[in-house]
Chain A
């Protein structure tokens, strides 16, 4: 087989590549993953990676924190353009590109958070490299996780500013990677909304941890630093009971529900994964406020354990059951913490 990087002409059956992707040899592992990436049957590849996310993890050089940041030089995001031109890799000083330096620093904070709080070594708990591409697209109002790496747009400087400005955005995207390597929630309907929920929750918690904020001191807003001058919205989402924005000339009104009575049934957005995440988001906020203190330590621990115990098809009710059980295990049966989690879910209309 071909072992050099980005070989275009390796044609090996999936079962061989699967075996090779688990090799102890980093080069072989990487080559197997690269070969899969070049597979012209893109749907087969995606299906395989969905079922076996470990195949998409690029191992770090030394098994722990390893960051690399690339620039896509404003090319459209696609498998043909990622990751781009290398700007900065682990241990190197600032490169002077604000987006790249923010992506580098933010990925480091997220890595440190998961390691120090939960003893988790990167997204896959195996030292997976943290790869970021900045300057994705032209005036691109988005950031995403593609299954292997992060991608950040610069925004149009009207609605959004560059997406690396917000640590919660960076932590949100990286947490999608953690979800992929834990419960791997299917990105559709309620399970997909839970996927978004965990990304938002840990996006908030990383920011609070970094700023040493208690639950009562935190804003519980997502994306404050990326909102542009063309909108009156102060954030993209809010875990509180308030709308993040209303009657905005560009965005309209925040559509997220905060209670199951307002659950949105829709086809778009993979069944409203960014809409209905508002319901479990609010439940977490309520639980964190009821228990007070450092949310990343208390309710964060409960939710981290929950994230590991759910399955790919878990629904909101399952998340409630598991988080209530987890709170009991971590803080005691009938503890104030467990009661807080139970009542928080009840307040958003979920009483398992």
Chain B
């Protein structure tokens, strides 16, 4: 599974991101990420971006899982609670571009 995570907006207005391929990760970490994605997939919609908040963060995921592609763009105030673990995992890896 190839995953791209992009965090944008916020008061700083800076973009953080990372890209990874689970084939290059340690097996246990790859399994953890796949589980998080599978769980979040049930709750994330393609686009749930906030229109009233200012300086809140926006999160984007682009996933290619052996040809099965998902794309989510979510405002932090629209994040379903079940997707928070995936978000926390990704935020720890993201760096400023």
Residues of the B chain whose Cβ atoms lie less than 8 Å from the Cβ of A195: 54
B79 touches A76 (CB 8 A): yes
Q: Encode contact with A along B65-89: 1 for CB under 8 Å, 0 otherwise.
A: 0000000000011110100100000
Q: Which residues from chain A contact B50 at a C-beta distance below 8 Å?
A: 46
Q: Does A49 contact B (CB under 8 A)?
A: yes
Q: Kindly identify which residue among B6, B57, B79 contacts A142, using a CB–CB cutoff of 8 Å.
A: B57
Measured CB to CB, the nearest residue on chain B to A76 is: B84
Tell me the count of chain B residues lying within 8 A, CB to CB, of chain A. 28
Question: Would you call B53 an interface residue if the criterion is a C-beta within 8 Å of the partner chain's C-beta atoms?
Answer: yes
Of the candidates B6, B8, B11, the one having the most CB atoms from chain A within 10 angstroms of its own CB is: B11
A350 vs B77: C-alpha distance when bound (angstroms): 36
Verify B96–A147 contact, CB threshold 8 A. Answer: no
**Segment of B12-20, B26-34, B36-44 engaged in the interface with chain A:** B12-20
- Whether A17 is near chain B, meaning CB under 8 Å from some CB there, is no
Cβ contact within 8 Å between B53 and A144: yes
A46 touches B11 (CB 8 A): no
- State in angstroms the CA–CA spacing of A50 and B66 once bound together: 40
> By the criterion CB–CB under 8 Å, are B12 and A274 in contact?
yes
Q: Complex Cα distance A281/B12, Å?
A: 15
Of residues 25 through 55 on chain A, the ones whose CB sits less than 8 Å from some CB of chain B are: 42-43, 46-47, 49-50, 53
Q: Is A117's beta carbon under 8 Å from chain B?
A: no
Counting residue pairs across A and B whose Cβ atoms lie within 8 Å, the total is 97
Closest to B9 in A: A269
Cβ-defined contact, A50 with B52, below 8 A: yes
Q: Is A273's beta carbon under 8 Å from chain B?
A: yes
CA distance A236 to B11 in the complex (A): 9
Q: Is the CB of B77 within 8 A of A79?
A: yes
Residue of A nearest to B15 (CB): A268
Contact, CB under 8 Å: B52 / A250? no
**A residues 58-110 touching B (CB-CB < 8 Å):** 76-80
A46 touches B55 (CB 8 A): no
Q: Which size bracket describes the interface of A in this complex? A: 35 or more
Q: Given A49-B52, A147-B52 in contact, is the A142-B77 Cβ separation under 8 Å? A: no
B24 contacts the other chain (Cβ, under 8 Å)? no
Question: A46-B50, A77-B76, A78-B81 known; A173 and B9 CB under 8 Å?
Answer: no
Residues A143 and B55 in contact in the complex (CB < 8 Å), given A76-B79, A252-B97: yes
Q: How far is the CA of A320 from the CA of B11 in the complex (A)?
A: 25
The listed residue (B8, B51, B76) touching A46 by CB distance below 8 A is B51
Contacts of B14 in A (CB 8 A): 251, 255, 274
A134 contacts which chain B residues (CB < 8 A)? none
Give every chain A residue within 8 A of B78 (Cβ-Cβ). 42
Q: In the docked arrangement, what's the CA distance between A78 and B56, Å?
A: 11
A-B contact sample (20 more), CB < 8 A, given A268-B6, A270-B58: A46-B50, A49-B52, A53-B52, A77-B56, A142-B10, A142-B11, A144-B53, A144-B54, A146-B52, A147-B52, A147-B53, A163-B11, A172-B55, A176-B54, A187-B51, A236-B11, A268-B60, A270-B9, A274-B10, A274-B12
Per CB-CB distance, the 6 closest pairs between chain A and chain B, nearest first, are A274-B13, A147-B52, A144-B55, A268-B8, A176-B54, A144-B56
28 CB contacts below 8 A, A to B, read: A46-B52, A49-B52, A50-B51, A76-B79, A76-B84, A78-B77, A78-B81, A79-B77, A142-B10, A142-B12, A142-B57, A144-B10, A144-B11, A144-B54, A144-B55, A144-B56, A147-B53, A251-B14, A268-B6, A268-B15, A269-B13, A270-B8, A270-B9, A274-B10, A274-B13, A274-B14, A275-B13, A277-B13
